[in-house]
Structure 1
Amino acid sequence: MSEDWKKKKIDNFVILNKILGKGTYGTVYLGYMDTGQNQVRIAVKTVPMDSVKQSPQILNLIKRESTILKAVEHPNIVRLYNANRTQNYIYIFLEFCPDGDLRKFMLSKKEKHLSELEAIIFLKHIVEGFKELFQKKIIHRDIKPENILLSNGIAKIADFGFARVMEVEMDEPGKFSRNGTPIYMSPQILRGQPFSAKCDVWSLGIMFYEMLYGRTPWQAESQIQLEQLILNKPLKFPTKPVRSQKVKELVAMMLQIEEKDRLNWQQIFENQVIKMNEDMVRQNMNEIMKEDPMTKSMSLNKIYLDQYKVVGYLHTKIEDYREDSKNDLDGLKQMFDEENPDLILSQYQKEMKRRESFQKFYTYYLYERNVAFFINYTQLRIIKLQTFGDITLVKEQFLQLIFMLARNQLLHLDKINSALNSNKHDQFDQELWGRFIVSKDCSRLLTTIKNDILIIKEVFIQVREKCPQFQQFFDKIENVKDFLGQYKQIISKAIETLKAASTNSLGKDIYSGIYYLKICLNPYDFFKQVDFDFNAFYEETENANLDELLNLI
């Protein structure tokens, strides 16, 4: 396309001269689709016909991608709306994913890798997409971070140019062309041998390893060297960052060199790592219903904490995402009749500014919420230590400590809840804040905070009933400042008691408990940035050895 064009209209699609990215054989532009009821932002892949004439294979790839994407519809697969061809271009109208690709997300991390929890969440999204592909007998053949797009916390499989429908059974090897990206190719594709749908299991295993460690397990300067390394250099897992045994076992089973030894897709779908949350919660709930009220409330708190210890980018629900996608822009009702594309681009820029501001608000209050849940995590750590006899605080001191931690959590969450229900904000632009508090982003955040409060309040009530004298003591404190003074005194006293009783022979759990209590004294002195990576913090601390914890204390 020439440089000076501003807007093109094809059927019910509008293409704007706003480049989103460039691929191997085309350019991706911003666009909009008129559904008849609303306007949906889309991505438009454009391929010059000159390129197609020079390389007829490109047309075959485009046809194959369009055919396959028309056959699938799943929240974890990028959606195809339509494809069109003019004299000069081929246009592919695709779902817009505003948050870039998985590679970009990984590079945004300080250590260039994800926490184990984040990696598993993405893995689950991708596996859900592969369930749909498996049913349709489709293999992808080019799974890599660049081909996993992100949209509001949802990972989506993209770029089906090398995909094909299997004419044989999915686990039955066939002779197919050698397509894909070498570093992610299975050994069978590298060697030009017949392969099955397990080629995608290998590619996903390589990418999962990369999410966990920030690099692929084998690195080479040529395809021949890569093949030799895979065949002759056993798979190894770095000692840092520390990863769970079940995750390493899954990766190892996905990266078996011979297909007969490698997991198939049915085994992936049923793997413990993929299914563990729902199975564990179901099992735990059955046990919890037999417990007394106080133990039950603390157990429910633990289950809730295990799932929502850190809430952030990856906790968007697919149902919420679908609802947002129905009408993702306001104020563009006349867009398709608008003759001034500059105005449309201006509206897009305003929307991006609004999105950036909303993300700023959202990030700030998620940060505040995650600080509160760090206190909750510390409380549960102390309960666990006391229950198993690792620490022996006298009953009154123990209950007083739990009471004060629970109360401080509620103060944090009540403050957030109050702010999100207020029409005014002292720190943020008033107009943008007014739009934010009526948005779905704010509604989702409020729902999270209210659920947090319900869970934590139940624990607080149960502790209060066990020790009413603490509530009477608390009622005498006239303001938050006085409470925090008493709170710090009680925390400091507990730290000194635990330090005096601790010995190296007790293991590291007691020292991590002391470390967490020290942070609880002044959490904002430790969690200084609103973009603080809580997942990485928990992972690093939980996997620290005894000497490292002693240095922290």
Structure 2
Amino acid sequence: MKKVLNRYSYSENDELGRGAFGRVYKGVDSKTNKPIAIKFISLDGLFDQQLIENFKQEMSIMKEFNHPNIVKLLDYKMDPQQNIVVIDYCEGGDLSKYLDKNGSMLDEYTATQILIQVVNGFREVIAKGYIHRDVKPANILIQNGLFKLADFGFATKVATNEVLDQQVGTPLYMAPQLLENTAYSSKCDIWSLGIIAYEMIYGRQPWSCRDMKSYLKNIKCYPLRFPIDKAVSDQYKNFVRQCLKVDENQRIGWKDLFDHPLLDTRQIAQKTFKIIEMDDETKQILRNIQYIAQARQLKIQEQFSKYDLDKEGNLDFNEFLQFIQKIDPSLTSNETSKLFNFLDQQRKQKINLNEFQVLFSGNDFSDLKNFAQRIISDLKEIIANNKLNVDQIFHFYDEDKEGDLKLDEFSNLIRRIAPALKPKEILIVFTEFDKNNDDSISLDEFKKIICPQGQNYEKLKLQKLQQQLVAEIKRRKLTNENIFKTFNVSKTNKMNYEEFTTLCRDLVKVITDDEIQQVFKTADKNQDQCIRYEEFMNFFK
């Protein structure tokens, strides 16, 4: 055992962590016999007046705090070779590790209880006239079930309305003003709290972030969205929304934050939940529309208004069909009808712009538990925001130049985006691309996933129409032979257009004349204006 400051003992075997400038050990206070944490900050003879002043300021700030939700400074020493800091020992680790242990996502009650404690710590910080400027899960420690603010290395004194311009903090949790290196106020910590509140519930950041350029663009261009897969109260969502206003002037202030209903333990039982029940097909349709609109930078309100001919803020089915298929031309009328009926909750046979915007812009339709989808989404964001050439990326990682990506080549690509992924996790992402299961990813497979907006929509739509017809035949437990005989009224062993139209309208609830014509032309291989029995069997096999 070693001893420092004539009071604290520790063993080098009890290391708690290490960083670029030092190590932290678990120790014991010989006077109280209580466990403590000892941090050694190595200076290696480096004399930097700014570092010395920063350390003095941090110690001075921490000495002012005596609050159950702030890590307590017990002792410290400054030395030319190393600085020594003695603080509370927090046996529970930090919030980041806590989230990992609990599957990355917490239930709302637990997340709210943590928020209440962290905000209670901030009541003390703000009351003393300080801001933290590096609020993140790793700087929230846990001692005996209490969550405590820690690491005040970037903290500074600030007046109520004072504006600062020094860029400090951790990018993922930094307010956009800090990311842009523009003036900011004490509300920067409120933004960080909002990010943490979102992350605790959904297990991910509200905006995709694999590089700073795309992250800042996403924050500024795309609305805050909440995954629909998890029921979260209106109060919790409101708290996050108020914290994550991009414009500081619109962001909630500290007084209002401290009084927010979410943090009032008396109102926990009064929370209201609005659950959106949606089947997987509808969710997939909205997910694709959302992605295409984002990739093409379409403004939904503008697009909606183009088809709102009477300018009353509503679209009937035919107008809605044109509106939706303008965004995603691969959608069939049957899919659009299903979406229309889902959105038309009041059965008025029209869709209201405001209601559509609330649903479309305020919700995230991606699968919350599908991490492969998140990795793919991040890859799309990086390519789109940095205007990268998809073909060049593919060929760069195609190291053997055989025109495809093997698992090892694909792993090199994915690890540039998510270096912490395990081999079995990379294999799951790989499988999402490898649609024909040949253990390699072709350029076509790669592009279909990465840039679906560049696909042949007509071909994709035809495939879906064909799948819908085949699926309905199977659902009815019919054979292709019986279907042909039933609808080939002329009994000529070849089906004319009128007969085929009757067949399509019987099998599919909503299908347009154009779609029937498209399917007919494709099935009619020899283009003789009728579908022979052999052609029919080949098309519907």
Q: TM-score, normalised by structure 2?
A: 0.48
- Compare CA radii of gyration and give the structure with the larger one: 2
Higher RCO (C-alpha 8 Å, min separation 6):
1
